[in-house]
Each structure stands twice: as structure tokens, then as C-alpha cells.
Amino acid sequence: MATITQTQTTTASESAPLKLTLAYQEEIHEEVLAYKYSAYLPVYDTKTSFPPLKPFEFNDRGLVAQKNKPHLLSKEHAPALKVTKLTPGIGTEIRGLQLSQLNDLQKDELALLIAERGVVVFRDQDFKDIGVEKQKEFGRYFGPLHIHPVGAHVKDNLELHNIYLGPDNEYRNRRRGNRLTTTGYHSDVSYERQPPGITILTLLSVPPTGGDTAWESQTAAYARLSPPIQALLDNLRAEHSGFPQAEGARRDGLFVRREPIKTEHPIVRVHPATGQKALFVNPGFTKRIIGLKDEESEALLKLLFHHITFGQDFQVRVKWEEGTVALWDNRVTSHTAISDYNVHEPQEGLRHGFRITTLGERPRGVNGLESRWEE
């Protein structure tokens, strides 16, 4: 991990100085890289803490969208528009349309498209240059912005979760240092009571090769299962836990700004805008199946995790380019970064960006099965 450096700043809303821990080495970006996006480099606010998230009413923007998406996918509004399915079952690429210029009708249709296709990749975007406030405003259209309980962030903007792996900070790789692969499929912070809906990921610095992201369709994963297994899973909940993440952060000397929780979510959830059934378990945060014996739970989760991880015929792998923005629906996908580049090679050694994650509804499964938790 990077050498820990502490700085003092003062916010406009309070007189007490805010203690920040830098998660990068300043001299690398000032002297060697002359980094354009230095304002977005990762820091840790080691003072601000938050109470548990409170329930809120959520209205999926996809519910009011027109199914044929005439405002988003019409060349009448964007003559240079090019829409490509990356695979038959998951992933759509869009060129010739700026996210920063979308109106509300187009955003509604985008929400529905993301729900249907799992992930939508926009190329040649100006999104990373429109400023933090406009970036957050865009995200808020789809739901309240999530603040990560342990992750690095952009200075003064806890809502922008920092994605950083470079020669001065290998923390994201070292956590997996004793494994054969750096990949790990997950749905963002799925332990939350109302876990994320849409996530928006923007990379500011991209390796010329490597550093791809892969997504897996949880709707296709569910559809592939045999009817008896589907029927079994339809009536079960699984525990999603934030405790290992928080405990790992504390062990590594990082600040936990919100205490961890456990939530029991339906294993199969129904998307509010499409009505599609999707698996809602992931190797990152799902720990056990409620109501089963330990051996039964372990065996079934092992089957599902293997299915999710190795189902390459319902996955998509996306190569990042300058100006790429990816938006995905955590309710119908899981994803993983692919850290296959050499962070110590100056020509390929920095992958840096930020993630804006919006919170969604309380998961609802088949026949109204809802998430539950202990107060």
C-alpha cells in the first residue's frame, strides 16, 4: 500500500479540520505523470462517520420509460448514434451520444435499457470533465447516492468511490495476493437494506492493454438452472454481510465510516421495471442460505458461485478506452475487475477512476418474498 500521508483541510460547513489520509504518492503524479485528474486522486476521510442507512421510498426511472426508447435510441436526436449489442444476452455499446447532454426522457429510457441489457457502455464521453457536481447530479437522477463504508474517495466528495491501482498503491491486488486470480465477482455492497440499483463507473486513466471489466447476467444465470432448482431457490433467502469487509479494513488500518450490517435477501429477486427474475447472490458478500444446514448451504452456494464465475456464455468483457463510461444494474448483474497489467511498468501501470453508486428498492422476490433483517 502507499506510504500513509496525512493532510489537514477545513470544510465550509465546520471549523474542525478534516483529517485525510492520502492513498497515493504525491510526487509520482506531480513530477512524473503531471496528472490531469489529480483532484480525483484517492483519499481517506478518517473522521466523518455515518449512522445506519434509513429506509426510503424508491421509484425506478425505468417504470415510466417507453419500451421502444424513441428518445434515447433514435438518430433523430443523435444523427451519429451507433448502438451495438456486445453479446446476445448482456451488454450494449453506444457511440455518438453524450451522457452529459441527456434529457429526463432519455435518462428514463436509459434506466430501462440498463435493466434489460445489464450493462451499457458509452464511448467517447466528456463525462469525466464536466465536474463533480454535475457528475453527482447525473447519478442522483437514478437514486440516492451511496457512500462506501470503508473505501477511498475523491477529496471532499465521499459519494465518489475511488478506483485506483497503480505503482504507489497496490492495495486492491494485495487483498487477493494469496489467490490464483485477482478476479472476484460481486454486486456492489449487496449487504445494504436497499442495495444499489445503477452504478456509473468512469475511468480517468486507462492502461493501454489490460484492466478490463467483466459482467455476468444474473437473469441468464437464473434461466439456465433446471426448474426444480429454480423452484427451490425461489423460496429461499441468503445472508449478505458487510462484516468481513469492515473487519478487513480495520485490520489494514483503514477507517470504517459506517458500522457493518447483515441482511437476508431473496436469492431470486424480481426487477421492478422488467419483471425479470434474477439470481441475487454473489461470491463477494453472500455468506449462507437461511434455513439450510451448513453443509447444504455451502454446497448450494458453491454451485451458484461456480455457475456465476464460469458461465462465459452469459458474460461480457469490456475493454476500457479513453472517454468510456459504463453503467450497470446491480440487481441483474455481478461484475469483476481484471487486474492483469503490471503496475510497475510506467507505460501500463495505472488504472484510476471513480464510481457513483445509486441505491435502489428493498429487494422483492418471487411471490412477494422480501428482504429482512434484525433491527
Catalytic residue list: 186, 188, 335, 355
227: exposed, middle or buried (C-beta count within 10 Å: 0-12, 13-18, 19+)?
exposed
3-state SS, residue 201: strand
In the chain, the amino acid numbered 83 is V
Cell numbers for 99, please give them: 451522457
The torsion region of residue 23 among left (phi > 0), alpha (psi -120 to 50) and beta comes to alpha
* Residues paired with 365 in a beta bridge: 269
Report CA torsion sign: 1, 339, 337, 140.
Answer: positive
- Taking the C-alpha atoms of residue 72 and residue 93, their distance in angstroms, rounded to an integer, is 13
Phi/psi of residue 197, each to 5°? -95, -95
Cα angle at 133 between 197 and 137, to 5 degrees? 35
Specify whether the CB–CB gap between 222 and 277 falls below 8 A. Answer: yes
Report CA torsion sign: 305, 280, 301, 257.
Answer: positive
